[in-house]
Amino acid sequence: MDEQQLIREAEYKAVRSSGAGGQNVNKVSSKVELHIRLEETKGLSEEEKQRALKKLSSRLTNSGELILQCDESRSQHKNKGIVTQRFLSLVKEALTKPKIRKKTKTPRAAKLKRLREKKKLSEKKATRKDPLKE
């Protein structure tokens, strides 16, 4: 994964942020949106692209575009930094290979413990029976 290439290919748009903010909110575009088409990026190998597309499929638009946005700060510059970091960590997480599960046996001690508990319970129930009916 080439982070610098991904950042260069990402398209940033500054838009007006929603919510409270008084008169200033109507004239300042502090919200930042990051748009990138993962299929066309040169920052990922083909294998990485397939893995990322599969993992992030629920976050992609119909045209295969990943859109992230940030309006946490009142500064456009800070929001751009935040959304870039969020994007890079999202891609890194999508590219991590899951650990292969190793099959393990049930420990002998656990089996013996289960059998002891079973026997104990059956003895407890046996003492509840009426001895005259047998």
pLDDT digits (tens, 9 = 90+) for 72-121: 888 889 999 999 999 999 999 998 988 999 999 999 999 999 999 999 99
State the pLDDT confidence band at 123, using cuts at 50, 70 and 90: very high
* Average pLDDT score over the chain: 88
Looking at residue 21, what is its pLDDT?
66
Looking at residue 100, what is its pLDDT?
93
Region 10-14: mean pLDDT is 90
User: How crowded is residue 111: how many other Cβ atoms within 10 Å of its Cβ?
Assistant: 11
CATH match for 3-95 among 3.90.1510.10, 1.10.110.30, 3.30.160.20, 1.10.10.10: 3.30.160.20
Q: Which of 7-16, 27-36, 42-51, 81-90 has the highest mean pLDDT?
A: 81-90
Looking at residue 2, what is its pLDDT?
81
